Chains A and B, each alone.
Chain A
């Protein structure tokens, strides 16, 4: 199915990148409306308490203070998922974590707002505090929320069993198992949240916010303000990075709107970095127990897993995360028997949510580590062992996921060949190691969050006499390139240069619905919708060209802004000639395209979780250099192959993959949200350590194109999946280097050092053999 493309597959700077590098992009804090007030929030300094009293009188009396709102000003609860609406704009009866918003102040300037916020007096009655998941599984004295499982702090339990796991374990020749601990990490995008609420003259409320999910913000805002949705407008400002950290409707977004409504003036709020940490929605900390059964020939017989994840104070995407920790273990291997138990427990800490690789990252670390253990027990090359077990293209998993295109085999083979694996595996000196891991991820969630029959993505196109094509979509461009996907799809179908297309994807008043930037859905769904819309325009232009030439509309090819027919009777009509004809007696060309995932999946409870119209696949080889005197671990080289179906924009795909390596290694080696009795102790980017330039390895990116039959031009996701194999590849390489299996992330140099000390006490220089490396 090799097709010729003109735009698709090239290496293009993102269409919005010029605005960003010239400083013209308008981020949240760049907006300036006349008469804007500045907001500061009053946040809880205690982890769990009943609010006895909030006294705002001193604050309100301060010169320059225009309004203060508290929990009394809004009673409706909201949340990103309709099934777990547990958030409040401002805490109503109690606070649930250090950072929970209790009041919001609007004043003439920020210093006054800050002083007024400090002058708000809150009296708390302390409640029992819960920081660990363990105790929260059983009934507790004061559940953090009223609707937990049986008076515990458990928000959600998931159990799934396919086949017969016990029988698989009985039949197994090897069945390594292990326990893993993961600490929480955050997204650490560049731009802190920054929002402006503008009360419009007609009584509507506009919210300008750098969000990944304008539609869910729109819904939540209408609910909290208790107005119909058409009375609210959401404008997505340029998003300075999201990674899942801007994919919830947030209390602070509600709070500024409440203030703006109260004073009838625009209100702006820009977080400092600490508030980003407090708002969190980062990757869940948690524990993962996994056992994998193999027969003597290396065939995977089954996977048995148990995850307990720490949700923090609110639900966010947590129900989905609880499922994903299990169900996203169904690939990239054939797993005939499968058992998973998952639980998400509320704690009095900053709420966790969706983060790049949502729900699949920690589980994958555990699974790929245990596969590495199995390979050693079976004395198999870990790449061979994986290749033996991979899912086939256009097949089905045990839990009835519909697998379409699948380049996992090519991914594994190419990272093997292009990393020099065969020359290195088992042959490197002590201290140097190489490791592999594979992964897979959804390319868009097939089931929408709100189960309506409205398409998940719609794109409108408009062309008028200037010939430029305006594409409207609510698809949230967050730096991942969704605007560029639209532009590429339209330019490709209509055979015009990319600069003919301008994308408008900010304003809920003009853009048709799209669900937003999460679950790696953008490229697949918006891309398909844009392509469909462009095909409608193409048909109109072809018919116009047919009228001009007397030829059949279906014969025209579109390229170089020309509609042409080759062959023995060649004709050619310029794009503008065709357009002029199409506009005659008709006016601007309008078209709509939409995408709705087909029906799929099983009928058992929870069958919808993890369903996707396509899945991406990948494999990663990491090479590490352990400082054997100190235990410090450096990743020196990383080779990652990702099957994205087709690279619509090669540069963007490569950029995403490199970003994934960087972020994945950050979590593997350095990143952690540290807590002390519910207080984050490193809420800044000096103490919370993202990978620096010196820790960034040489990166080798391999783009695998399996050409998905349903993806736009064959494309699938590339923004999240590539992160997933990075962490276990690193962990496996570390094991290969010094025989230390890190059962926690980040890898602790002090523990590696301890391990090295123990080896040294053993006397001889440690050698690398199957035996010493065996378990």
Chain B
């Protein structure tokens, strides 16, 4: 068994299943810690199943017990290790599928995607939610693009391929326009002006 210390959880990888445990974080106060661990565990289990019902590959949930989720293990490679434009295009298609149903993943990064049998599995739904609006969809894409920038020199190409895939499966132009606005907000000047 392998134990993986993720960004948020401890993940125990067994032969056929995976236990994801949201352990207490000592850096934050207990009240906040409990609110976050409980709500994220619940959200993750729920939306992972909704996504699969809508045709996006995700692991089967086997059990939820307090702050622990037991799920099917997806045998494959983290997308971070096998990324290329074809893979990014397919991610774009799947994200469009999610967005059509108003499912926002909330943390799309190449570490939260597993390539298995030529299919892209989505995992790590702790920050996901359901909201059929342009803004959160734009932010969803922005998060993915930032993670590409952090890991790949050809991130521009990967980004273009994603957008092509996203368009193919019904990702809409208003989301892509909003994405641009979100990126421009990163500029300093506009923020200072809000100081007033």
Q: Do A and B bind each other?
A: no
